[in-house]
Structure 1
C-alpha cells in the first residue's frame, strides 16, 4: 500500500477508535515501529489533533472527531466493486428492492472518462455467467430486518398454514432465496424458500435469546432431523464429492467408512421426491447403499425418464 493511501486509511482508523497504541497501528497496517512513528508525524502535519498519553495505559488520543475527506477508490478497488456488482444481475428480488440497473448507473456516472473506458474494456474481456433468479421473493426486506433486529415473524408458507419463525440469516443459491430460521412452535431450526412465503408480518412475540445470539455459520452444526426422518447412505466417488461441494444441505455430509467415501444424511418423509431428484443429479458418481425404499424410488425415477424418451 502506498504511503498516501495508507495515511488515508489510517485517518479513518484513528477517527473511529479515538484512542490507539503504536502496536495497534503496526498490526492493523502491517508496518514497522519506525514507519508507524513517521506516519503519526505525517498525520499531525496534515492537521490531525493527536496527543500522546504517557504511563502504563498510555498511547495516542484524538482530541476531537475529524472531518474526513470523501472516500476515493483506486483502479483495482473500482474493478473489484464492478465485479461484485455483477452478482446483483442474477436477482430480480433483492432486500430493499435495490436493482442492478440503478446501482450500475450511479456507479458509472461517478467514474472518470478513463475509468469508464477501463470498465468498458473489461466488459469485452470478461464474461459473467449467472444462475438467473427463478421466482421473485416479495418478503426479503422484512425477513432480513427481522434477522438483524432479532424479531419474530408470523408467515404463511406454501399450503402448510401459518408458521411462527425467528429469522437468522438469508442466503441465495441456484436461483432461489432461502431463509434460515428457528420455528418457535416446532422448536427446531428450518430453512424456508423465500418465494414460497405467501404472507409475512412482524409480531410482538419475544424472540428466543439463544437463537438471537447465533451466527449463520453455526447453523449447520445445530441441524437436527425430526423423529420421522429417514437416514440414507450412498457410496460416492471423486466426481460426486465435487458435485457435493457445489450443492448440498445441512442434513447431509461426507464421511469415510471402511476406507470408502460415503454421502450420508437424512430426509423427511414428505421430502422423498426432493431427495430422489437431488441424488439423480449425481448420475453414476453415487451408488445408494440404504435404504432400499430410496433405491426403488430412484429406479422408478429413471424408468419414468426413460418412458418419456422412448415414447
Structure 2
C-alpha cells in the first residue's frame, strides 16, 4: 500500500477510534513501529490534532474529529468493485429495489478516462455467466429489514395451490439458482424453515415480541438449527468423487457428507412431505450416488426414472 493511501485510511481509523496506540496502528496496517511513528508525524504535519499521553497506559488521543478527504479507490479496488457490480446483473429483484443500470452508470461516471477504458476492455476479455432470476420477489426489503431489526412478520405464503398465513421471524435472505430464499423461525410450528421469497404474497410487521436468541444467529450458523421432526426419514447414499463436487455446489441444511472406512456417504433426513423434492434432488446426481437406505427411497427413485422413460 502506498504511503499516501495508508495515511488516508489512517485518518479514518483514528477519527473513529479517538484513542489509539502504536500497536493499534501496527496491527491494523501491518507496519513496523518505526513506520507507525513516521506516519503519526505525517498526520500531525497535515493538521491532525493528535495529543500524546505518556505513562504506562499512554498512547495517542485525537483532540477533536477532523474533516475527512473524499474516499478514493486505486485501480485494483476499481476492478474488484466492477466485478461486484457484475454480480448484481443476475437479479431483477434486490433488497431496496436498486436497479443495476442506475448503480452502473454512477460507477462508470466517477472513473477517470484511463480507468473507464480499462473497464471497457475488461468487458471484452472476461465472460460473466449469470443465473437469471426466475420469479420476482416483492418483499425482499421487508424480509431483510425484519432480520436486521429482529422483527416478527405475518406473511401469506402461496405453495402450489395452497395459501397459508404464517408468523415468522426472519433470520437471513439469500439467492440460489434463480430464486431468493428466506431462512426463518416459524412461530406456530416452533421450527426453522426456509421460504421461497417469490411465494410470499404479503408481509407485514407484527407487534409480537421476537425470540431474543435468534438475534445472535447469522446466515453462517443458521443451518445448524434445522432439526428433524419425529416423522422425518433418515437416508444414506454412497457417493463418488464427482458426486461430492456436485454436493458441494448444492446441498441443504438437512444433509452432510460423512466417511466410513474411507468411503464417502451422503447422509441426512427429509420430512414425509418432502419426498418428491428429495427424489428430484437425488435424481440430479445420476450415477454419482447409490442409495443405501431407506428401501422406499430406492423404489421411488426407480419409479421416477421409469416415468421419465415413459415420457421419451
TM range (shorter): over 0.9
- Alignment match, 2:92: 92
Q: How does 1:296-307 map to 2 (within 5 A)?
A: 296-307=299-310
Q: How does 1:97-176 map to 2 (within 5 A)?
A: 97-158=97-158, 159-176=162-179
1:5 is aligned to 2:8:
no
Q: Provide the TM-score with structure 2 as the length reference.
A: 0.97
| Residue 191 (structure 1) shift | 1.0
Q: Alignment partner for residue 289 of structure 2, among 265, 275, 286? A: 286
Distance 2:131 2:297 in 1: 29
State the superposition RMSD in angstroms: 0.9
| Residue 53 (structure 1) shift | 1.1
Distance 2:167 2:260 in 1: 39
- Alignment match, 2:64: 64
Q: How does 1:154-303 map to 2 (within 5 A)?
A: 154-158=154-158, 159-303=162-306
Q: How does 1:14-33 map to 2 (within 5 A)?
A: 14-33=14-33
Name the SS for the 1:144 alignment partner: helix
Distance 1:243 1:138 in 2: 31
Deviates more, 1:219-228 or 1:85-94: 219-228
Deviates more, 1:61-70 or 1:181-190: 181-190
Deviates more, 1:225-234 or 1:26-35: 225-234
Distance 1:148 1:8 in 2: 31
| Residue 56 (structure 1) shift | 2.4
| Residue 194 (structure 1) shift | 0.6
Name the SS for the 2:221 alignment partner: helix
**Runs of 4+ that moved beyond 6 A:** none
For structure 2, the 5+ residue unaligned runs are none
Distance 1:157 1:256 in 2: 39
* Deviation digits for residues 93-138 of structure 1 (CA, Å, limit 9, x no counterpart): 1000011111101111111221111100000100000111111100
| Residue 217 (structure 1) shift | 1.1
| Residue 64 (structure 1) shift | 0.7
**How many residues in Structure 1 have an aligned counterpart in Structure 2?**
309
| Residue 259 (structure 1) shift | 3.1
Distance 1:254 1:96 in 2: 37
* Deviation digits for residues 257-288 of structure 1 (CA, Å, limit 9, x no counterpart): 24311100111111111111111111100001
Name the SS for the 1:234 alignment partner: strand
| Residue 30 (structure 1) shift | 0.3
Q: Provide the TM-score with structure 1 as the length reference.
A: 0.98
| Residue 160 (structure 1) shift | 4.4
| Residue 57 (structure 1) shift | 2.0
| Residue 55 (structure 1) shift | 2.1
Deviates more, 1:257-266 or 1:13-22: 257-266
Distance 1:5 1:17 in 2: 19
For structure 1, the 5+ residue unaligned runs are none
| Residue 50 (structure 1) shift | 0.5
